[in-house]
Amino acid sequence: MGWVNETPLAQIREKKMKITNITTYQVDLPLHEGNYNWSGGKSVDVFDSTVVIVETDEGYTGVGEICPLGPVYLPSFARGARAGLAELSPLLIGMDPTALEVLNRHMDINLKGHPYVKSALDVACWDILGQKAGLPVAILLGGKYGSNFKLYRAISQESPEAMVKKVEKYKNEGYTKFQLKVGGDYQTDIERIHAVAKIMEKGDTLVADANTGWLMHDAAKVVAAVRELNVYIEQPCLSYEECLNIRQRTSLPFILDENIDGISQILRGYNDRAMDVVNIKISKFGGLTKARQARDLCVSIGLAMTIEDTWGGDIVTAAIAHLAHSTPTNFLFSSTDFNSYVTQSIADDAPQRQNGCLSINQRPGLGITAKMDVLGDPYFTCDSNESVNFFTSQEL
């Protein structure tokens, strides 16, 4: 008769993994360079990151992380992330973490907007799915391309001379892609771009990222002054319409970032010929599930991408690495390793930069293990009773 499955079919259909506990932690991530400066005089010296650990009734545990770039970059902030997680966590108890589309629709129905809040939960569930399947998340996202991928280095906004020295330092460490933080005084920005362009070599990539910092008349002067250089212009102005205006004034390759937070924006930009590259930040889309959808759309329409996030430590870096490593090499314009910018490690076996490149390990899931001694006491927990228990005197 051959092999017979003695488990009733109805029982197989009903069997599913369940989320039993969600614990949230707050952790500070100081910077190696002391601070990070970008357009409009914005600066951060310690990143406030939130780590989520999702536990299941089958013993699998997934980790996620959300780390906004302070409260003044995007409509997201660290304490808002934790408040949103306290709102959503009770609603996910008992759900199947491997049913990611169902889970994401449930989060969207019960919390309008706030994709960054949902991102850490979604990533943690991908970690669980990978462990359950016995495969790295990158394989589940489509498969791994190559043995590694190249990284960019963000160069904090300083004097032209100081930025040149930083680029030289990181060139010696193997980086070939550099993202200059401009978006300040336009004349100084022109000097910054020209100064760094002089030390670029064949195969190097230079991006002038204004992070929405220029008004149109200043952006127009900048693109005119650097038109002969081999440089990309990234997000010069605040609104999509302003950026499109500048795009139409220059032949330089163009990147959009802050205005790209969903598939509809990608399609609009593509139809308007508004950019040559888009920046997909995982938490801005709401997690790996929707970032993968955006990535696959870009591949389908022939649009290159930078794969990254707003900021973070080891866990965010691992999530970035799995999405980037599963992106076709010729479509991956760049990516980054945020854990190399900060002094605090929060997970074992996280991807580590080697000669300006990054790669994932072959362990199932994200392939990392949270350092519980570093995370310390929970910020709050949510258990099978669907009750949120806070362990901090801080206000949300």
Does residue 12 carry a pLDDT above 90? no
pLDDT in tens, 358-382: 999 999 999 999 999 999 999 999 9
**CB 310 within 8 Å of CB 74:** yes
pLDDT of 385: 78
Identify the pLDDT of residue 388: 83
Judge contact between 190 and 226, C-beta under 8 A: yes
Checking if the pLDDT of 254 tops 60, the result is yes
User: Of 368, 17, 292, nearest to 139 (Cα)?
Assistant: 292
Residue among 144, 150, 166, 181 flagged as catalytic: 181
Other CB atoms closer than 10 Å to residue 164's CB: what's the count?
18
Tokens of 145: 């391309």
On the question of pLDDT at 346 being above 70, the answer is: yes
pLDDT tens track for 94-120: 999 999 999 999 999 999 999 999 999
pLDDT in tens, 187-197: 999 999 999 99
- Higher pLDDT residue, 7 or 306? 306
Residue with tokens 């904090």: 156
pLDDT confidence bin for 14, thresholds 50/70/90: low
Give the model's pLDDT for residue 2: 43
Residues 50, 61: Cα–Cα separation, whole Å: 17
pLDDT for the residue numbered 3: 41
Could you tell me the two tokens for 93?
Answer: 């108890």
Q: Which long-range contacts (CB under 8 A, 24 or more apart) does 101-105 make?
A: 101/289, 104/286, 104/287, 104/289, 104/290
111's CB contacts (< 8 A; 6+ apart) are 84, 87, 88, 117, 118
If you average pLDDT over every residue of the chain, what do you get? 94
pLDDT at 320: 98
Per-residue pLDDT, averaged over 340-350, amounts to 97
Does 371 qualify as catalytic in the annotation? no
238 pLDDT higher than 80:
yes
Other C-beta atoms closer than 10 Å to the C-beta of 88 total 19
Backbone φ and ψ of 391, nearest 5°: -125, 25
Task: Report whether 50 contacts 60 (CB < 8 A).
Answer: no
In the predicted structure, residue 1 carries a pLDDT above the cut 70: no
pLDDT classification of 396: cutoffs 50, 70, 90: very low
Task: For residue 324, report the phi and psi dihedrals to the nearest 5 degrees.
Answer: -65, -40
What single letter denotes the amino acid at residue 372?
Answer: M
| Dihedral sign from CA coordinates of 314, 292, 143, 55 | positive
Decide: 361 and 349 in contact? Cβ < 8 Å: yes
Report the alpha-carbon distance of residue 81 to residue 316 in Å, rounded.
15
pLDDT at residue 141 tops 50: yes
DSSP 112: -
pLDDT tens-place string over residues 16-44: 999 999 999 999 999 999 989 989 888 99
Integer distance in angstroms from the first to the last C-alpha of the chain? 62
- Summarize the confidence of residues 221-246 as an average pLDDT: 98
Which of these, 73, 28, 76, 30, lies nearest to 51 by C-alpha position?
28
Tell me 34's DSSP state: S
Q: How confident is the model at residue 131 (pLDDT cuts 50, 70, 90)?
A: very high
Judging by DSSP bridges, how do beta strands 277-281 and 254-256 pair with one another? parallel
pTM of the model: 0.94
What tokens does 293 get?
């959808």
pLDDT at 71: 92
pLDDT of residue 387: 76
Q: Alpha-carbon dihedral of residues 171, 176, 177, 178, nearest 10 degrees?
A: 20
Report the half-sphere exposure of 330 (CA within 13 A, side-chain side): 3
**DSSP assignment letter at 18:** -
- Out of 31-35, 49-53, 328-332, 350-354, which region has the weakest mean confidence (pLDDT)? 31-35
Instruction: Say which residue the tokens 């973070």 belong to.
Output: 312
The most confident of the ranges 13-17, 41-45, 211-215 is 211-215
Least confident range from 190-204, 278-292, 360-374, 376-390: namely 376-390
281 is catalytic: yes
pLDDT band (50, 70, 90) for residue 13:
very low
